[in-house]
Amino acid sequence: MARFSNADLDKSAPDAVRAQLAGYKALAEIANWNLQGVLEAAEEAVKWGGPESEPALSASYIANVAKVALTGANVDMPVMPGESKVLAQRRHMVVGWVKLANDDPVSARQELQQLPREEGATRIDLWQIAWLARAEFLLGEWDDALATVEKGLFQSDYFGIDLLDPLLLWTGAIISQLRGDYSIAADYRNRLIISNDAFVIQKVPAAITRVVTGLRENQMVDAIRATDQLIELDKKQSISQPGFWPWRDLAVHVLLKTKRLEEADELLGIGEEDANRVNNLGLQARLVAERAHQALVLGEADRGVKLYEECIEMMANTHMRPYQGRTLFAFGQALRRLGRRRHADTYLARAAEVYQSMGAHAYVEKINRERRAGGLGPRQNSVSSLTTQELEVAQHAASGLTNKEIAAQFFLSPKTVEFHLRRIYRKLRIRTRTELPAALAQALRE
**Residues 242-253 pLDDT 10s:** 889 999 999 999
305-329 pLDDT, tens digit each = 999 999 999 998 888 999 999 999 9
Amino acid 223: pLDDT: 94
Q: What is the 3-state secondary structure (H, E, C) of the chain?
A: CHHHHHHHHCCCCCHHHHHHHHHHHHHHHHHCCCHHHHHHHHHHHHHHHCCCCHHHHHHHHHHHHHHHHHHCCCCCCCCCCCCCHHHHHHHHHHHHHHHHHCCCHHHHHHHHCCCCCCCCCHHHHHHHHHHHHHHHHHCCCHHHHHHHHHHHHHHHHHHCCCCCHHHHHHHHHHHHHHCCCHHHHHHHHHCCCCCCCCCHHHHHHHHHHHHHHHHHCCCHHHHHHHHHHHHHHHHHCCCCCCCCCCCHHHHHHHHHHCCCHHHHHHHHHHHHHHHHHHCCHHHHHHHHHHHHHHHHHCCCHHHHHHHHHHHHHHHCCCCCHHHHHHHHHHHHHHHHHCCCHHHHHHHHHHHHHHHHHCCCHHHHHHHHHHHHHCCCCCCCCCCCCCCHHHHHHHHHHHCCCCHHHHHHHHCCCHHHHHHHHHHHHHHHCCCCHHHHHHHHHHHHHC
The answer, yes or no, to whether residue 1 has pLDDT greater than 60, is no
Q: How confident is the model at residue 180 (pLDDT cuts 50, 70, 90)?
A: confident
Question: How large a percentage of the chain has pLDDT more than 70?
Answer: 93
The answer, yes or no, to whether residue 9 has pLDDT greater than 50, is no
Nearest-CA neighbor of 173 among 163, 162, 164, 183? Answer: 183
Q: What is the mean pLDDT of residues 182-211?
A: 91
95-105 pLDDT, tens digit each = 999 999 998 99
Dist CA 230 CA 236 (whole Å): 10
Higher pLDDT, 246 or 377: 246
All domains of the chain in start order, with CATH: 388-445 (1.10.10.10)
Relative orientation angle of helices 15-31 and 200-216, to the nearest 10 degrees: 20
Higher pLDDT, 90 or 384: 90
Higher pLDDT, 140 or 1: 140
Least confident of 183-187, 264-268, 285-289: 183-187
Q: How confident is the model at residue 446 (pLDDT cuts 50, 70, 90)?
A: low
Dist CA 163 CA 194 (whole Å): 11
Question: How large a percentage of the chain has pLDDT more than 90?
Answer: 54
Report the mean per-residue pLDDT for the chain.
88
The answer, yes or no, to whether residue 303 has pLDDT greater than 70, is yes
Dist CA 382 CA 365 (whole Å): 13
